Structure 1
Amino acid sequence: MRRVAVAAAVVSAVVAAGCTGGPDDDGRAPESPPTRSAQRVASVLAVKVDNAPTARPHTGLGAADVVYVEQVEGGLSRLLAVYASELPKAVGPVRSVRETDLELLRQFERPTFAFSGAQTKLLPLIDRAPLRAEPPGRTPDAYHRGSDRPAPHNLYLSPHHLIPKAPGRAALTTGFTYGAAPDGGERETTRTVRYPAARFTFTWDESRERYRVAMDGTAAVTTEGQPVAAATVVVQYVRMRQSGYFDSRGSNTPYSETVGSGTAQVLRGGRTYDALWKRPEPSDGTRFTTADGEPVNFAAGQVWVVLVRA
């Protein structure tokens, strides 16, 4: 009881110091996917990453195994980057948590979650979530402010201050399968996904065997000077509804339901494959299959999952 009370007090302090509410506040894996078992697996590191135009270019995004794209207030977007294979020196800019993140992270074994703050009403959900919350108020030495852009778009995480080393592929209990491409598919070298106030374009680069990522019409490049590129892109159609949370301007935070089932399109190798997705329980990973139930394998490398309204 005492530990719970202390944890709640720490996170509450972080909110007061680090949460802003405006609308602009907004993998690599083995071919056989790891699954949970009675044996405890190491924890992934998940980081909530700002994606307002003033937050770009990003730092450390290229090292992520999986990047989830979520719609937030005002039709803008945020990223949830998951690290298991390697840890970069820095990740950011780091921003505040949303309710959708908590459901996404239930698929991992007690993930370490780095974020900059949360709405007060969301604190009880964070306290109850099966994760290790690490905002700046709890581990201040793990964060620093950059001088190249204004706050709040300049908060960066040093991952090694939170976990000593990358947990490895066994921590990626996403349910994804990797291997040879499915039969069929349609040739498609460019795909654009739109939110009300954001858009992402994925363009197949044959020479690099990756999809180059563009955000709002501009090619995405990290602060390390590398193009942001994905081996596999998943456009996952989900039920998107209003949550019980609003920002300071009265805009509602949309909630993307990632537990259940639906349709998706998987982009790999310059081709698009129709798929069905299924995640029966929050603790389960997400399986992507054909209509016949065969797995739709991903290519080895970084995976982007873009959550869009069904």
Structure 2
Amino acid sequence: MRHRARTRRAAPTAMLLAVALTASLAAGCTGHGRDGDDRGPDHVPSPPGKSAATGSPLAVKIDNVRAARPQTGLGAADVVYVEEVEGGLTRLMAVYATRLPETVGPVRSARESDLELLRQFARPTLAFSGAQRALLPLIDQAPLRAQSPDAIPGAYDRDPGRAAPHNLYLHPAALLPAAPGEAALTTGFRYGPAPDGGAPVSARTVRYPAARLTFTWSAERGGWLVAMDGEPTVTTDSGRPAPPTVVLQQVTVRASGYHDVLGNRTPYTETVGSGRAEVLRDGRSYDASWSRPAATDGTAFTAADGSRLDFAAGQVWVVFVPAP
């Protein structure tokens, strides 16, 4: 059955607040012409310390411009990463381990820094619409299963009710027989009761040159209502996202060696290293530090006193914010 993304639209009802920062989107891309499975299941080794027994999650690159909304499948994600791309816009990477939605999208292209981010998992499946031609060899060599429409066309279809390129949708069941389970989430995140301290906060806004995201605490939902560009974020299949934990992670963002069709350099988000972060949970804000010593490691978050900072159970949104 073909997906119809027009299924549920919510009327915009807006509110919000602000804090500031910077970012970017869209580039000309070409298809990825190789099936990640044609090299055999053991061709690409798992990262050190991780094995096939851990399970391999599904990561999907999701469009995040106005024309791509409302998106589909975000509610089922265990982690949603917000990363910058060209043009001052943002793109999402949704990671699925505990459950798979029927449909996810709109699916868009991959970036170089996605490969570093995904090294924390044991040979994950990456679903994406394509990539710049010069980047394709790096994707082929990365320890992941690259599954674009060129590689496995039966996993994708296009919604004729939307304009390309914002109309490509993935059916995860065509890539994974079942959700791999919680053990596949080797993110380094730890979950538990709220830590002591923190400051009450009702909302936070992150600003990029051509986009902004706002997270507003909802005691009724027990999470942070997401808004983008001043409008409530909704999905076609699960209503409005309200992740219990939101992380604003300060990272180094530099120009990569790749560029879009207009010659703009693609931003590279460095997720290995350390830095400052703000963790939002239970209506409070916690100052934190993050550390990811190597690409094969998950990311640890610690409170000001050096203790591990636990996240609330449920979905986590990680917003990569350029460090000042």
Instruction: Establish whether TM, by shorter chain, passes 0.5.
Output: yes
Does 1:298 pair with 2:315? no
1:274-305 deviations in Å (ceiling 9; x for gaps): 00000000000000001332111000111000
Match of 1:279 in 2: 292
Selected match of 1:134 from 132, 138, 147: 147
Specify the alignment match of 2:130 in structure 1. Answer: 117
Equivalence for 2:31: 14
- 1: CA distance, partners of 2:49 / 2:215: 32
Give the alignment of 1:109-188 within 5 angstroms.
109-188=122-201
> Normalising to structure 1: TM-score of the pair?
0.88
Amino acid at match of 1:14: G
Amino-acid identity (%) = 63
Equivalent position SS for 1:40:
helix
Aligned-partner Cα distance in 1 for 2:51–2:61: 29
Give the corresponding residue for 1:191.
204
8 Å Cα contact 2:30/2:131 also seen in 1 = no
Matched-pair contact (CA < 8 Å) for 1:69–1:307: yes
The answer on 1:104 being equivalent to 2:111 is: no
Residues 15, 119 of structure 1: 8 Å contact kept: no
Which letter maps to 1:94? V
| Kept after mapping to 1: 8 A contact 2:206/2:214 | yes
Q: Please give the per-residue CA displacement for 1:198-251, whole angstroms capped at 9, x wherever unaligned.
A: 100000000110110000000001012511221100000001101111111121
Does the alignment pair 1:204 with 2:221?
no
Structure number having the greater helix percentage: 1
CA distance, structure 1, for counterparts of residue 321 and residue 126 of structure 2: 23
Report the 3-state secondary structure (helix = DSSP H, G, I; strand = E; otherwise coil) of the residue aligned with 1:67.
strand
Between the aligned partners of 1:172 and 1:182, the Cα distance in structure 2 is: 22
Offset from partner CA, 1:146-186 (integer Å, 9 cap, x none):
12210110000000000000000000000000001111001
* Letter matched to residue 31 of structure 2: V
Unaligned segments of structure 1, at least 5 residues: 1-11, 17-34
Aligned to 1:213: 226
Of 74, 95, 103, which aligns to 2:108? Answer: 95
CA displacement at 1:60 relative to structure 2: 0.5
- Secondary structure of 1:62's match? helix
1:244-276 deviation digits (Å, cap 9, x = unpaired): 111111211111100000000000011000000
User: Alignment partner for residue 235 of structure 1, among 234, 237, 248?
Assistant: 248
Aligned length: 281
Letter in 1 for 2:92: L
Counterpart residue number, 2:98: 85
Whether contact under 8 Å (1:95, 1:116) holds in the other structure is yes
TM-score normalised by L of structure 2: 0.84
Residue in structure 2 matching 1:51, options 64, 67, 85: 64
Q: Aligned in 2, Cα 1:211/1:155: closer, same or farther, shift over 3 Å?
A: same
Structure 1 match to 2:76: 63
Structure 2 match to 1:8 = none
Give 1:251-266 correspondences, 5 Å limit.
251-266=264-279
Contact (CA 8 Å) 1:36, 1:173: kept in 2 or not?
no
The one-letter code of the counterpart of 2:234 is V
Provide the C-alpha distance between the structure 1 equivalents of 2:259 and 2:284, rounded to a whole number of angstroms. Answer: 39
Q: State the alpha-carbon separation in 1 of the partners of residues 30 and 66 from structure 2.
A: 28
**2:220 maps to amino acid:** S
Alpha-carbon separation, structure 2, partners of 1:222 and 1:38 = 34
